[in-house]
Structure 1
Amino acid sequence: MKNKILYFLILSLFINCKKEKIKIEKQTKIEQIYAENNYGMFGKINLKIYSDSSYTCVRYETSPNYEKTEKFDGFFKIINDTINFFPSDFKPNYSTKAVIKNNFVEFVDGEFPLKIEIKRNKLKSKNSLKFDKIKDYAIFSFDEKYHSNIYYGYKPKSIKAYDLKQNDLEKLDNILKKCFAENNSKLKDINNYVKQCIVVINPEKKLKFG
C-alpha cells in the first residue's frame, strides 16, 4: 500500500512538473515581430520572430495552375536592430544578417534582395521614415552584387546605396503625384499602386530613384 502511495505521489509530481514546464515554455515564446509581404496572385511571405530567439518563415507561391507552401524555422541573435542568423542562415534567400529599419526587416547579404514589411512590433525599433501620411511605398536597398547589371546610366561602381531621409521621401512622393496627374489618362489612381523604390546616390551626390 505504501509503495502504491509513493508511486502515485511520484507520478503526480512528474505530471505537475511537466505541466509547469509547458506553461513556462508557452510564456517565454512570445511573438515580438510579425512581418508580411502580400504579392497578390503570386503569393506571399510572412515572418514571425519570437522572444526565445527563434523564428518561423512561411512562403506561399501561387499561379493559375500551381501552389507551393514552404516553412522555414531557425534561430538568431539580435543586437540593437541587427539580426544575425545562426547556426545556419535564413533559408528563403540564404542571408546571414537582417536589419530592422523603417518598419521593415531587410535581409542584407542574401542571394537576392528581400525586405518584409513589419505589421506588428513589440521591440523598440527606431524608424527614421514615417509612412503614416505617405502610404504604399516599399523602399529597397541597392545591392552591388545583385544589381551589378543595373547602373541607371552610370558607370559600374560609381553609384552607392543611400538611406532615404524623410524630406527625400516627401519630395519623391510629390514628384510621383505630379507624374500621375500628368498621365492620368494612362494610369489608374496613384493609391492603386505600391511604389517600389531602389535609391542610389551618384558621383555628383544627387539622388536617383529606380
Structure 2
Amino acid sequence: MKIASVFFRIIIFLSFCKCQPTKKEKLNILEAEHISPYNEVNTSIKFYDDSTYTFNLFQKSSYYEKNEKYSGKYLLEKDTIKFIDRGFQFLTCRIAVINNGFVEFIGGSAPLKLKITESRIKDVYAINSLDSSYAFFTYHPNYYDFFSEKVKSYSLKKNDVLVINNLLELCIAENNNRITHNVNSYTKQCVAVTNANNEIEVIVYCNCKDNDEGFHYQIMTVKDGGDCHFSVKLNLIKGKYSQLYINGSA
C-alpha cells in the first residue's frame, strides 16, 4: 500500500506540472547596434514583443572598461518608437525613428544612430537600391542650427536623392576651379527639412571617401583638407544651391 501511495503522489505531481503554462520567451522584433572599428565604444539595443527594450553601452580604453545597461518600455507607432515611463534614460529623450536601416534617437542630449541588424518591422521610409555613399540625419534644432527660419523635418524619397545628386553635380561643375573631385568621390550626409513655403531644403556635407563607415552615424566636422570637404544648401523645389562652403587647405 505504501508503494502504491507514493506512486499515486508522483502521478499527481507530474500531472500538476504538465498543466502549468510554460513562461513565454520574449521575441526580438528589432535589434540595432554600432560597433566601433576601434572597440572604444560599442552600443546596441533590442526591442521585444512585450513592449520592453534593453540598451547596452560598452566603453573601453587603455585605462578602464565600462558596461552600462538600461531597460524600459516603449510604444511603436509606424516608424516612431516612443519611450514611455522615464523615457530613454541614456540620452534623456523620448523618441526614436526607424529610417533607412537605422534607429535614430531624436531630441536627446546628443545625436545617436544605430544600424538595424534584425527587424520584423517594416521600414516605411527605406530608399531601395540607394547609393551607399549617402547618409541621412533627422533634423532637430538641438543639433542643427543652419536653417534660418522655422522648418519641419522631412524624410527624403528616392526621387529626392536623384535631385540632390544632380544639384551636387551642377554645383561641382560650376565651381570646378575650386572643387576638383567628381560627385562620386564623396560621401554625402544629408539633413532635410521643409520650409515655410513647403519647399524641400537639404544641407549636404560632402567628404572624400575612405574606408571608414562612420559617416553613417554622425555628421563629420573637419577642419582644413581643401576641396575634399565641402558643404552646400540645396533647394530641391527651385533646383538651386546656395551657401557653398569649401574647406581651406591646412
TM-score by length of 2: 0.61
Correspondence for 1:164: 156
Task: Please tell me the root mean square deviation across aligned C-alpha atoms, in Å.
Answer: 3.3
AA in 1 matched with 2:90: P
1:209 to 177, 197, 203: 203
Correspondence for 2:50: 52
User: Against the structure 1 CA distance between its residues 141 and 54, is the aligned structure 2 distance closer, same or farther, given a 3 Å change threshold?
Assistant: same
Correspondence for 2:243: none
Paired with 2:92 and 2:57, the residues of 1 have a C-alpha distance of 14
Does structure 1 residue 4 correspond to structure 2 residue 6?
yes
AA in 1 matched with 2:162: E
1:21, distance to aligned residue in structure 2 (A): 0.8
AA in 1 matched with 2:191: I
Paired with 1:117 and 1:85, the residues of 2 have a C-alpha distance of 19
1:203, distance to aligned residue in structure 2 (A): 6.0
Unaligned runs of 5+ in 1: none
User: Against the structure 1 CA distance between its residues 67 and 127, is the aligned structure 2 distance closer, same or farther, given a 3 Å change threshold?
Assistant: same
Correspondence for 1:198: 191
Between the two proteins, the alignment pairs up a number of residues equal to: 192
Does structure 1 residue 94 correspond to structure 2 residue 95?
no
2:135 to 104, 118, 138: 138
Paired with 1:15 and 1:141, the residues of 2 have a C-alpha distance of 52
Correspondence for 1:77: 75
User: Against the structure 1 CA distance between its residues 183 and 63, is the aligned structure 2 distance closer, same or farther, given a 3 Å change threshold?
Assistant: farther
AA in 1 matched with 2:31: Y
User: Against the structure 1 CA distance between its residues 4 and 208, is the aligned structure 2 distance closer, same or farther, given a 3 Å change threshold?
Assistant: same
1:31, distance to aligned residue in structure 2 (A): 1.5
Paired with 1:116 and 1:31, the residues of 2 have a C-alpha distance of 16
Q: Which of the pair is proportionally richer in helix?
A: 1
AA in 2 matched with 1:7: R
Unaligned runs of 5+ in 2: 173-178, 205-250
Identical pairs, percent:
28
The superposition leaves residues 148-194 of structure 1 with CA deviations (integer Å, 9 ceiling, x where unpaired) of xx533x54x44443322222323445638x86x8248xxxx64xx6x
The answer to whether the Cα contact below 8 Å between 1:103 and 1:127 also exists between their aligned partners in 2 is no
TM-score by length of 1: 0.71
Which protein, 1 or 2, shows the higher relative CO under an 8 Å CA cutoff with sep ≥ 6? 1
DSSP 3-state at the match of 1:40: coil
Paired with 1:44 and 1:58, the residues of 2 have a C-alpha distance of 8
Correspondence for 2:22: 21
The answer to whether the Cα contact below 8 Å between 2:33 and 2:42 also exists between their aligned partners in 1 is yes
AA in 2 matched with 1:21: T
